[in-house]
Amino acid sequence: MSLRFAASARSTIGVEWELQIIDPVTLRPIPCAPEILAEFAHAHPAHGRIHSEMLRNTLELVSRPRRTVAECAADMVTALDMLAPFVEAHDAVLVGSGTHPFVSPSSQGVSESERYGALVDRTQYWGRQMLIFGTHVHVGVEDRGKVLPIGEHLLAHLPHLQSLAAASPFWDGEDTGYADNRAWIFRQLPHAGLPEWPEDWEGLEELTDSMRRAGAIKSFNELRWDVRPSPGFGTIEARICDASSNLLEVRAIAALTQCLVEAASQRLDDGLPLARLPRWFLAENKWRSARYGLDAMVVTGPDGEQMPLRDSLSALVAELEPVAQRLGCAEDLALVEGILVGGAGYERQRRAHEDSGLGGVVEQLIAEMRAGHPLA
């Protein structure tokens, strides 16, 4: 079966940001997304960039396809401003994080949707654990023949994205010891995690067909890979990142993703090889970055060469600076260094916990969303 890849301008970008609806007094999620969405849609019927998600306590903000990260960030600011009165009417605030630090995941209501209902029915216990939230970045690819090689290049840099965005150290009231526990929860769903894709687009079509015939999936979107083609949008999508607590970090993650894709696309044009690691090393890197975050030692070459992730990420940002200049996101990419110095989300959450307990973690998340940048 043909898997049509939509036309998309090269290295255009779109961002999806999943946010929790929180009671600022109890610091617990509120399952009022359907009501907020209905009220918002009634007042702004043409907006269409705020969506429901699997849980009733979640709203997803979606930018328009843009040329620059700055334009995506402006879309997010507009959406937050437009949403604010409707969220406040429910005595709530919006918060970004990979998980909620202390509520029971199985106590959260699932959105009324045939798709989500079927998923929970199929996956049972693990389907009821999906109290997790992400930041997804789409980047346009002009030629479907480039998509899977670029995907491999992104996978080789997965720990850089994952650790930079890691913001889920707590789960059901406990410190898990991980920087990114969300990744380990999400991989319990069918066809989630690292992709096992073929060498070319025709092979991907055959794989999708065989999985449909076997009853493993009904649609391509049920392949919940950490990096995946998005045929309907004509993009490659990075899905590994936890939801950021503030817009500054969203900008940094989006810029790093956009630059990685554009750099890979240019290397393909120039006939140069792309970064590629064996699956065993990809799996090891994902585990290390989930466990240790920015303090991980990552495998950087096919022979098992290793490097501290902080050093590797700094070197990568320096390498990508000319690409960022061409794309108009140099200021956004430069924000990565600030996160390395000030601490990623999981580090700041642990500091808040040391000072004020689990409630203090949520209060810090609320404050960072309002500030629009990380707080010490």
Confidence of residue 152 (pLDDT cuts 50, 70, 90): very high
Q: How confident is the model at residue 120, as a pLDDT?
A: 85
**121-130 pLDDT tens trace:** 898 999 889 9
Residue 102, classified by CB atoms within 10 Å of its CB into exposed (0-12), middle (13-18) or buried (19+), is: middle
**301-310 pLDDT tens trace:** 989 999 999 9
Q: Which two tokens stand for residue 244?
A: 């950021």
Provide, rounded to the nearest whole percent, the portion of the chain with pLDDT above 90: 90
**358-371 pLDDT tens trace:** 999 999 999 999 99
Confidence of residue 117 (pLDDT cuts 50, 70, 90): confident
pTM given for the model: 0.97
Q: How confident is the model at residue 54, as a pLDDT?
A: 87
User: Range with the lowest mean pLDDT among 48-52, 120-124, 187-191, 285-289?
Assistant: 120-124
Q: Which residues pair with 175 in a beta bridge?
A: 170
Q: How confident is the model at residue 47, as a pLDDT?
A: 87
Mean pLDDT (whole number) for 79-108: 96
Nearest CA to 43 out of 52, 31, 32, 35 is that of: 35
> 158-179: buried (b, 16+ CB within 10 Å) or exposed (e) per residue?
bbbbbbbbbbbbbbbeeebebb
- Give the chain's domains with CATH numbers: 13-370 (3.30.590.20)
Q: Which two tokens stand for residue 155?
A: 């996978």
| Separation CA 361–CA 372 (nearest Å) | 16
Mean pLDDT (whole number) for 69-93: 98
Q: How confident is the model at residue 127, as a pLDDT?
A: 86
Mean pLDDT (whole number) for 329-353: 98
User: Range with the lowest mean pLDDT among 37-51, 313-327, 342-356?
Assistant: 37-51
Mean pLDDT (whole number) for 230-249: 98
pLDDT of 1 over the 80 cut: no
Mean pLDDT (whole number) for 337-351: 98
Residue 368 half-sphere exposure toward CB, CA atoms < 13 A = 28
Contact call for residues 374 and 245 (beta carbons, < 8 A): yes
3-state secondary structure (DSSP) of residue 305: coil
Sign of CA dihedral 159, 347, 357, 77: negative
